[in-house]
Amino acid sequence: MDGQRKVPKELIHFGKREYREKKPIQVRILRIKDTPLFKRGVLPSLMVKQNPSIPYAILAEYIDMYRVYLFDSKGILLGAENAEKQSLVLEKLVKSSKLIYHIP
């Protein structure tokens, strides 16, 4: 349990450093939600979910693009790439995740 609380703190520290050094418009730290694989029942009474292989993402918004940083469950940076503002993949990422921290 202690390790799970430490990871978001490290990500917040990374996001603050990114904001301070590279001056984006905003930085959002996201936790990607589990994806349901199987539902059974009306409410549903049975649901099987899959944990994402990349559970954390940091989005740094610039004037013409986003910079997306991907992290594993231990808080280790897996990679980064640029995405256009109107990207469908970026919209899907934001919809399937939960906001942990926001730096305006």
What does the pLDDT look like over 50-78, one tens digit per residue?
888 889 999 999 999 999 999 998 899 99
Q: What is the pTM of this model?
A: 0.84
Model pLDDT for residues 78-99, shown as the tens digit of each residue: 999 999 988 898 999 999 999 9
More confident residue, 38 or 62: 62
CA distances from 89 to 28, 60, 68, 84, 93 (A): 16, 15, 11, 10, 6
Closest CA to 26 of 52, 58, 74: 58
Look at residue 84 and give its three-state secondary structure. strand
**Separation CA 26–CA 16 (nearest Å):** 10
Q: Can you give the pLDDT at residue 44?
A: 75
